[in-house]
Chains A and B, each alone.
Chain A
Amino acid sequence: MKNALHIERELEKYNAHQAKGRRLIATLFVLLIVCIIVSASVGSSSVNFEIVLKTLCSYFSGVAVEDVYRSIVMDVRLPRVFCAVFAGASLSMAGLIMQGVFQNPLVSPYTLGVSNGASFGASLAIIMSAKLSFLGFGIYLTPIFAFIFSMLTMLLVYTISKLTNHDTRTLILSGVAIGYLFSALVSALKYISDVQSLPELVFWSMGSLSGLKWNVVFLLLMVFAVCFVISICKGWNLNVMALGYEESTALGVDYRKMLVLSFVVTTILTATSVAFTGVIGFVGLIAPHVTRMLIGGDYRYCIPASALMGSLLLLISDTLARTMFSPVEIPVGIITSFIGVPFFLYLIVRRRKV
């Protein structure tokens, strides 16, 4: 009788927890839709909500819209808004998985050196663009190099960790060490670069979402969608992994296989975003924490909620970055920290009080 009561109570708790997760996901989703509409309606030009609506309607009805407004809405503003949505979601989801797998709250998608590798690749492409022009990558030289080098960095980290049979601590340490190595290489490139190349290097390393086209949006969406489906399918396994190596193995989860899978998923998510947007900090560190503080650590809910939280944070930050000092834009990384950090600290203090 006692047992039945206990089970019932636990079930109630579980259901309440599930409902809380679903509520947060629904709330974040609605918030994101609202933010997308607001973000699409503001900017440095006079294009407002009405013009955006008219432009979208013009595809279905005979409403006439000036070419320049159509361009601003369809070629500039909407691709940028959706880039922020998918890049934010990718970074946040990658951060969540990494923090869980490594059981370390300080881990972010950049901890294992992805961003340092990408920065080195991008810097190399910027400085050596003349020598590398034979490759025929054109304007995609920098993102392609950033992606290739971030993958190479991860391959190096993975190979080293393999020597220790995928010990998570070794993985983090080797990631941090190799990250430092690439960071030193970037500094070396900055050191030898002249007054003409240096601003471009600095600019890239601060992150920006300007000038991105629909093809980048679709690429980010595809990568995010595939990784999202994989992660959701493995949500239970990720939950079990939080118990540690021995417990999860005892519960039938192939810990090492999951570790490698998480490693590949987070690397691809982060590398793709960084390649096009540059290094945007804090989204991948703070958004997952905030999500977990709100609904706990169940990955089946945390994954979508954290992705939505990342989208929201990056979208709000980028909207502010491009409108605060219009028409001058400020690096989005500065804003993500300004918004994310106070909110994060507030949640920490509130939780401690409780």
Chain B
Amino acid sequence: MKKLLSIAIAAIMLLSFAACGQNPDAVTSPDEETSSAAPSPEVPETITDSHENEFTLPMNLNRIIVLNSGVYEMICVLGKDDIVIGVNDSTNYPASAETKEKFGDWKEPNVEKILEAKPDAVIGYASYLSSGIAQQITDAGIPVIMLDFYVPSEIPGEVEILGKMLDAEERAEEFISDIEDIQKLVAERTKDVDPITVYYEGYTDYKSVGKGSGGTELMELANVKSLTADQNVEYPEISDEWVLEANPQMIIKLVSSTKEIMGDKITDTAAVKGLYSSIVSRPGWNNIDAVKNGKMLILYSRIGTNPLGTAMAPLYIAKTAYPDKFEDIDPDEYLGNMLKKYWGDELTGIWSYTE
């Protein structure tokens, strides 16, 4: 019993000494703390992604996998594509994507291959990446950053996050500032107009855009009035007879890059002309004001709901809607400048089409 007691006392004493040895300044009064002249340690800056996940900066990313083609494009704009070791299967633009290893689908990527590659981080499609797979990657100690890059109002914030993450803040800020300059120009020129009504159609026939969608925001930026802005469904299928009666003054149609009828490498306008005539020849559409007045704009998806489109789509829409306000403005010139400055490309091919 005595032996046990002595061991216990010895242990308590040892622990007390250890505690004192660890931090001799640990026991300080609050007064002492506030009067200390030493500078307080800086709180590390953090960023928050689209899923409210917080990451501490600097992230020191040297090897990342990107599963969102829009994010990859922006990483190239920021000049950081050399740290990307792999992308999802359908990311094939800009050209450097072709040289990157492929890690499967954008919704359900190959998780084993990703874990084996041991990247510093994975950037996923916030709205689409399988949450189960994202959790598996996170559980393996690899941070998963969720970004969308398709809602105009969120894009500047997302570009900023990407800039901070990749240590390319200046370039990101410059890009955001250029986008905002174009948006301001459109806002300035359209501030006194009586907004015209617009029917906006996405890649699928009669699929429009409702509340909270990227397309609705693009139209708000151009100060035109979307017929379907108040619909609670994000991508509603709209009744054709309702469109006929609503009689929009302008029609906007977005064309997917996979259709290969518009784009930087397409120079023959025959296919896009075919699309134009197929839309105007829909049952009864010859009675719509927009068709009668030739106010239909077909936009290539690269200037749709994405970083470049956030600036360029409102400009093209506003120019078509209110031509007299933009007589001295050539959207192609602005597009050419953006492509040259951030993508290193000359403006070629068909990006927008009106008749």
Contact = CB atoms under 8 A, between A and B. Distances in A.
A130 B259 contact: yes
Contacts of B242: 43-45, 326-327
B90 A194 contact: yes
Nearest to A327: B242
A47 B239 CA distance: 13
B245 A46 contact: yes
Interface residues on B, range: 35 or more
Contacts of B247: 68
Contacts of A196: 203, 256-258, 301
Contact of A75 (B233, B259, B284): B284
Nearest to B203: A196
A254 B241 CA distance: 50
B245 A45 contact: yes
A316 B205 CA distance: 23
B271 A133 contact: yes
Contact of A76 (B203, B231, B260, B284): B284
B231 A328 contact: yes
B90 A192 contact: yes
B116 to A, nearest CB: 21
Given A129-B259, A130-B261, A196-B258, A211 B283 contact: yes
B239, B242, B284 pick with most chain A CB within 10 angstroms: B239
Interface in A189-205: 191-197, 199-200, 203
Interface residues of A, number: 42
A74 to B, nearest CB: 8
Contacts of B238: 327-329
A330 B207 CA distance: 11
Contacts of A304: none
Interface string B186-218: 000000000000000011111100000000000
A74 B240 CA distance: 13
Given A68-B247, A192-B90, A208-B237, A200 B203 contact: yes
Nearest to B69: A194
Contacts of B125: 195
Contacts of B332: none
Contacts of A322: 239
Given A44-B241, A199-B202, A328-B231, A138 B274 contact: yes
Contacts of A130: 258-261
A196 B261 CA distance: 14
Nearest to B255: A196
A213 interface: yes
Interface in B149-208: 202-207
A213 B239 contact: no
20 contacts: A43-B239, A45-B244, A71-B244, A71-B287, A76-B241, A76-B284, A130-B258, A131-B260, A133-B261, A133-B271, A139-B278, A193-B258, A194-B69, A194-B106, A210-B237, A211-B205, A211-B282, A326-B239, A327-B231, A328-B231
Interface of A: 43-47, 67-68, 71-72, 74-77, 79, 127, 129-131, 133, 138-139, 191-197, 199-200, 203, 208, 210-211, 213, 322, 326-331
